[in-house]
Structure formats: structure tokens, C-alpha cells
Amino acid sequence: MAIPGNLLTTAMAVMPHTDVDRALEAALSLDVPFWPQLPNLSYYEDMYVQAAEHFPGMVLDVEKRRLSFSIDRFAEELEGVLARFDQPEQFDISTDYSVVYHRFLDIDHTRRPAIRGQLEGPISFGFNVLDQNDRPILFDDTVRPFMLEFMARRLNVQLEHLKQRNPNAFMFVDEPGLQFLFSAMAGYSDVKAKTDLDQFFAMVDRPRGIHLCGNPDWDFLLGLDLDVLSLDIYTNAEIFSAYAASIQRFLDRKGIIIWGIVPTGADAFEKENLDTLTGQLERVWAVLSGKGIDTAQLLHRSMLSPATCCLVNPDKEKTVEKAFDSVRILSRRLRDKHHLDE
């Protein structure tokens, strides 16, 4: 099992820090570390901007913090990009686009149970990047197939670098846009999304999974060919626990669930403590147990994390770091209670 379970800890990568060393220290404090994305440090660190590096047609305005797409530029640049499709460096993240990624790769991770990377997923990227007519590029039948393959190659190159540092490395595909698939405003059907995501994941090396903080159709998401699913259970506990049949099938396929339980927003964090968070999580597990899911199997195939990313706290990185501390303590408490180190 490349992705560990047994309630070990990890977290989402987007962090409010502007101090690279401090961000890395926080990421490395968890069982399964990751390289932080620091958009408050630089617009290049924005998850959409990082995913856009080397993508033909992109128009990046760092001063105005704006990323857009030009179909004319896409046509001009596409041939050159395709001529370099066999060059891994075209799909990697450069030092200009992440000051942390290459620092992370230089660290010895051999004793870790696993390490993790991430990249913005094609659905969210395609929803959020607009062309010259303010239309999402996801709706462009010429751009979308190229985007799926380009993003798959980006994931594979990063994963290969991580596996050289730890053979149990895995990837998050960050897909916040999936919660909008079933909105009347989306203009992109779940049937088309399923076809595109199946095609996309067929090109992505394992192990891989999806992270999102929103509330999508969980039957849809759990039915994708994923190895790991990371979600905000703090907000979505009641809804998610209603999908026991799909959760059971996901577990039977040896999927790992990462339960995002500790809030990172300052107000929500101050309202909670270890006892309340433990109670919330165990109530979800009890509901699933009552629907036939074996708790021992579930915990064996589970990890813990903060509930969400947060960039807007008045205390900047302090509450986020406290949330990381709480996740570690909560993990230790639950691992001891359920004898997961035996």
C-alpha cells in the first residue's frame, strides 16, 4: 500500500506563509509532508499560475495578479510546445514558479512513510482560466483535449521526481471546481466531466487522487478511478456520511480517505477543541459503521488533515500552524485509542 493510512497526518498545500523556511517547517511537521504553495509570497505561487507554466496561450500579468488565455497566442505557441512534448522539463515547475518545490526535493525524505505533491486539476483550471471573450477554456473543444494531456504530463513528471525521493510518493489533483459541475450555471455536464476525467486519469500515473474542500456529488467523485480522496469532513460530515455504499466500494478498491477535520479559519478554530473535533469525527465513523462499513477497515484506510486551506486569517499563518499542531495531537490520540500502532 503506497499511500499510508492508520490516521497518519498530512495537509493541503496552499498556505498563508511568506516565510519559506517557516512554511517548510510546518509541512515537514506532519507524517506525510508536501511542498507548500505560497500565493501571499508571490503570484507565481498561485495554484492556477503554477499549473499554467509553459501552457500555450497563457497571458500572465504578475503586477495585476491576473491570468488569462488568448486563443491566437495558443495557435502561435502550440506547435513549439508540441515539439518539446518529450522533454520532461517542459512539464516541471521551475524555480520562478515555486521557491519551495525545489527546496523540498533537496530534502532527505527516505524515512517518511510517504511524501506528496499536487497540481491544479483540469476541470478547475479550465473553469477558472478565461479566454479573450471571458469564456472558460474548459468549454473550448480544441483546447480542452490538449489541456487534459498537458496536465496529466505535468502530474507525471512531478510524481516521478517525488518517487525518486520516496517510493511511496503520491499526488493530489486539486479540484475545487468539481462542486460546480451540477450547477445550472456550469454549462458543462457531469456526463462530459466523467468522460474527460476518465480520459485524464487514464494518462496519470499512480498513486493519485483528488482533493477538494467543497461539496460535489459524492457518488460521482467516489466512482472515479482514484487512490485517495481528501475532503473537508468538518463542513460536509452529514452529507458525506449519507454515501455509505459509494464509500464502501471506494474502500474495497483500496482507496484512502483523508478526513479534513481541524478548521483553519480563526473563528471556527477558536470554537473547537480536541474533544469536540474527536467527537465530530467519531460520530461520522459511527454512522458509517451503522450502515455496514467496518470501522477497522475504515481507519486502516484513513488519514487526517486540516479541513481546508486558509489565506485570510488576521493572524496570517498562526492559526494554520495551530491547526497543524491539533491534527498531530488528534492523530496521536485516535491512533492510541484504536491501537493503530500495534
Q: Which domains does the chain have, with CATH numbers?
A: 8-337 (3.20.20)
Question: CA 46 from chain center: how many Å?
Answer: 14
Q: What is the mean pLDDT of each run of 10 residues along the chain (342 residues)?
A: 90 96 98 97 96 97 96 96 95 95 97 97 94 93 96 98 97 89 65 90 96 90 95 95 97 97 97 97 97 96 97 96 98 96 69
Counting Cα atoms < 13 Å in the Cβ hemisphere of 184 gives 0
pLDDT given for residue 2 in this prediction: 81
pLDDT given for residue 71 in this prediction: 96
Q: Where are the beta strands (DSSP E) in the chain?
A: 8-9, 58-61, 66-69, 116-120, 170-174, 208-211, 228-232, 256-262, 302-306
pLDDT given for residue 184 in this prediction: 52
Q: Helix, strand, or coil here: 237?
A: helix
pLDDT given for residue 214 in this prediction: 86
pTM value is 0.96
Residue type, 295: T
pLDDT given for residue 172 in this prediction: 95
Measured CA to CA, the distance from residue 97 to residue 94 in angstroms comes to 5
- What H or E segment, with its residue span, contains residue 105? helix 101-105
